[in-house]
Amino acid sequence: MALFLNVILYAQLYLKSNVNLLEPVDLLIREQASSFSKSQLHKLCVVVPFRDRFYELQKFVPHIHQFLRMQRIFDFSIIVINQQDSYRFNRAALINIGYFESVNESCDYFAMHDVDLLPLNKHLDYGYPVDGVYHVASPEYHPLYHYEKYIGGILILKLDDFKDLNGMSNKYWGWGLEDDEFYLRVVKNGLKIHRPKNLLTDSNTTFHHLHDELVRQRDFRKKHRRIKELYKRDQMSGLNNVNYSVLHRTEMAIDGKNFFVVNVALRCNEEKTPWCIIQCLAVSARDKFCMPLSFEIVRKMNGMKRYYQDESLHYSRKRRRSGHEGPELRLLIASKSAGAVIGKGGENIKRLRSQYCASVNIPDSTTPERVLNISCANVATLTDCLSDLIPRLDDGRSGPQEAEVRMLVHQSQAGAIIGRAGFKIKELRDITGAGIRVYSECAPMSTERVIQFSGDKEKIVNAIRHVKEICEETPIKGVERLYDANNYDVSYALDYGGYTTDRNWRNNSTMRRSSGIHSSPPAASTPHFTGVNEISPMQALGYSPMSLYAENLIATVQVTIPKELGGTIIGKGGERINRIREESGAQIVVDPPTPDSDERIITISGTTSQIKLGQYLLQQCVRSSSAGRKIIQQQSRYGGF
């Protein structure tokens, strides 16, 4: 009778929306399964395959610490395997790397754990699996995936068993199917699959799934030979041939809860598996992720995963020229020069397009630099257009006749410009009289290198004309990944020829803004981050340090939006704006509309990271609405200003 009353009490508490399932109060006593052991002789490693999910991670680490300690598991390590290359996400390969890191941490079993899945029911067992594997995220209780062979999300097994299976297949680039293939390995080797049963919670309440469809975007795209190759059993690849390099290891803490970050770069045979290659898209200075630059979102239906489709794996040069068949010029310019190029109301950029029959575009960027794309019918017209533009590209150099232009070329063409032993570039300097420097490193996450020209306008134009002729005679070899200025990294800028920040720089994104820095303490709602080695979590995870210079200061930023988007931002009853405030930690105020203005002002206050996250969430809110997409399309006609 006492046990029955306890069950009723537990159910009553569970039905209340504010119940905390992690409270260490034993409302229901469950007999421990004989196939699991909580012996202190065992050590658990929680391996998290990771890329650009800092928001989820700051919730994940404190939660897992609390959950494991509630289960009396004190000897454990959380290891985040952070993929920092330009290839598509490879969850299985990262887990294989996590195995080796777990061995180094002296663990004897590990949990393959998604960062967006938080256990809520305290009876989800993270103990040592004496017999077989334990699938914590059972199809019966997982929020999304309910098919019997699903074995992803959270899976616990001994390191010895994982080694006997040769780990997971390395061939799955992009999300999907790696777990299904691993299921076959587990079954073939006779390992019993244990799953939680008879829980009082269901698929909506057993886990907290940090899965925002407007923000979290996975790459399920299947292209080229991958469609056929995916469904072939891969019994060869795994621990024995995972190909990677470790870039950096560091120990960190979020809210005083320690974890390890291992930054890795995967290697891919691009000829054998071309589906590993993508263009990388960064939506903000804070949040970068890799996925197709042009994709169609197909929302999940009938319980199946959402996936993305892309027109093609690579973008042809015709498509980039927006219909122009002639030569193209890609220039790296300072963001503060973009306004002069565009002109008031887009006046100058429209004049250039009309006068030179040119395609001129400046994609939006939240960093100190942007890429200016120019395409004309022939080289002569292209250089005339460039000559017209150069005075507007001045970034504050002292000499009245001195100018500087930075041009982007494919890395395979740089050698032809330099020539054997540097003879060609010396010849170009002598012929044109311009200063010419070819930077040795490619711009971040691209195959493009910067060539810097300096001198008076005529010399620069003449030098660029010669370089363009060399490029036209030198076909591109290998993969072509164009530089996206949103991938900017200030710590790397001097190496590839990028622009560095200064106190007078203010980014010039689609939403126009002004800001002020105030030396106030950080907001109380901000999670407290500490680095054991005095490095911030964002730096350790590979995020650009450009936003960290004022991380401990409170800033105020104002952005303006078209009046008709006010309802899109606020949402019904303030639902959207309140969610953005909660997720970003920033204070956000939307001013009421005024009769004499077509715009509304949004004021964002907080730390640098809070503001950038708030801006990103606001932009996502706009981009996800039909009204917002229409306005963005209209703005893109004026070069993204």
Over residues 546-558, the mean pLDDT reads 52
Is the residue at 279 inside a domain? no
Task: Report phi then psi at 37, rounded to 5.
Answer: -135, 135
- CA 219, CA 207: separation in Å to the nearest integer? 23
Residues 459 and 518 in one domain: no
Domain for residue 588, yes or no?
yes
The CATH number given to whatever domain includes residue 463 is 3.30.310.210
Taking the C-alpha atoms of residue 241 and residue 169, their distance in angstroms, rounded to an integer, is 10
Which residue type does 287 have? Answer: D
End-of-domain residue from the set 218, 243, 274: 274
**CATH code of the domain in which 529 resides:** 3.30.1370.10
User: When comparing pLDDT for 312 and 577, which is higher?
Assistant: 577
Residue 301 domain-assigned?
A: no
3-state DSSP assignment of residue 6: helix
Which one of 126-140, 168-182, 476-490 scores highest in mean pLDDT? 126-140
Whole-angstrom distance, CA of residue 504 vs CA of residue 552 = 19
**Average pLDDT value for the chain:** 74
Instruction: Name residue 77's beta-bridge partners.
Output: 45
pLDDT tens-place string over residues 469-496:
899 888 888 778 889 888 787 767 888 8
Tally the domains of the chain: 4
Among 274, 305, 336, where does a domain finish? 274
Contact (CB, 8 A) for 172 and 231: no
Scanning the structure block, which residue is given the tokens 């200030």? Answer: 490
State whether 50 and 1 are in the same domain: no
Same domain membership, residue 583 and residue 543: yes
Within a domain: residue 296?
Answer: no
**Which of 595, 593, 596, 614 lies closest to 605 in space, CA to CA?**
614
Which residues on neighbouring strands pair with residue 309, listed in sequence order? 296
Residues 82 and 220 in one domain: yes
Give the containing element (helix H, strand E) for 359.
strand 359-361
State how far the Cα of 172 lies from the Cα of 180, in Å rounded to an integer.
Answer: 11
CA 173, chain centre distance (Å): 16
Domain end among 239, 274, 309:
274
In a domain, 299, yes or no: no
CA-to-CA separations, 413 to 68, 71, 398, 418, 468, in angstroms, rounded: 54, 59, 32, 9, 10
3-state helix, strand, coil in the chain (%, to 5): 35, 25, 45
Same domain for 336 and 482, yes or no, is: yes
Residue 316 tokens read as: 């042809």
Q: Are residues 12 and 62 in the same domain?
A: no
Question: Within 10 Å of residue 223's Cβ, how many Cβ atoms?
Answer: 17
| pLDDT tens by residue, 29-77 | 233 333 455 556 899 999 999 987 887 898 899 999 999 999 899 999 9
511 band by pLDDT with thresholds 50, 70 and 90: very low
Residue 213 lies in a domain: yes
Q: Which domain range does residue 7 map to?
A: 1-30
Q: What is the pLDDT of residue 278?
A: 66
Which amino acid appears at position 623 of this protein? Answer: R
**Distance from C-alpha of 185 to C-alpha of 169, rounded to nearest angstrom:** 10
Q: What is the pLDDT of residues 283-293, one digit of tens each?
A: 333 333 333 32
Tokens of 504: 């007078």
| Alpha-carbon separation of residue 511 from 444, 499, 516, 587 (angstroms) | 25, 22, 16, 18
Under 8 Å between Cβ of 355 and 634: no
Chain centroid offset of residue 298 CA: 20
> Are 347 and 417 within one domain?
yes
**Same structural domain, 110 and 173:** yes
User: pLDDT digits over 399-452, tens only?
Assistant: 555 789 999 999 889 889 998 888 899 999 999 999 999 998 888 878 899 999
122 and 217 in a single domain? The answer is: yes
Of 368 and 13, the structure prediction assigns the larger pLDDT to 368
Identify whether residues 26 and 39 lie together within a single domain: no
Asked if residue 534 is part of any domain, the answer here is: yes
Q: What is the pLDDT of residue 400?
A: 53
Place of tokens 């887990």: 95
CA 133 to each of CA 113, 156, 247, 584: distance values in angstroms, whole numbers, following the listed order: 14, 6, 31, 37
**pTM > 0.85:** no
pLDDT for 322 beyond 80: no
Same domain, 143 and 105: yes
Strands of the sheet containing 154-158, edge to edge, are: 193-194, 133-135, 154-158, 109-113, 44-50, 76-83, 257-266, 244-254, 529-531
Mean pLDDT, range 126-132, rounded to an integer: 92
User: 594 CB contacts (<8 Å, ≥6 apart)?
Assistant: none
Instruction: Return d(Cα 418, Cα 413) in angstroms, integer.
Output: 9
The answer on 161 and 107 residing in a single domain is yes
Positive or negative, the CA dihedral 614, 620, 625, 628 is positive
Give the separation between CA 32 and CA 21, rounded to whole angstroms: 19
In a domain, 267, yes or no: yes
The number of residues in the chain equals 641
Instruction: Give per-residue pLDDT as tens, 574-628.
Output: 888 888 888 788 888 888 887 777 778 888 888 777 787 888 788 878 877 777 7
Unique residue bearing structure tokens 């469809």: 213
CB 606 within 8 A of CB 554: yes
Strand, coil or helix: 619: helix
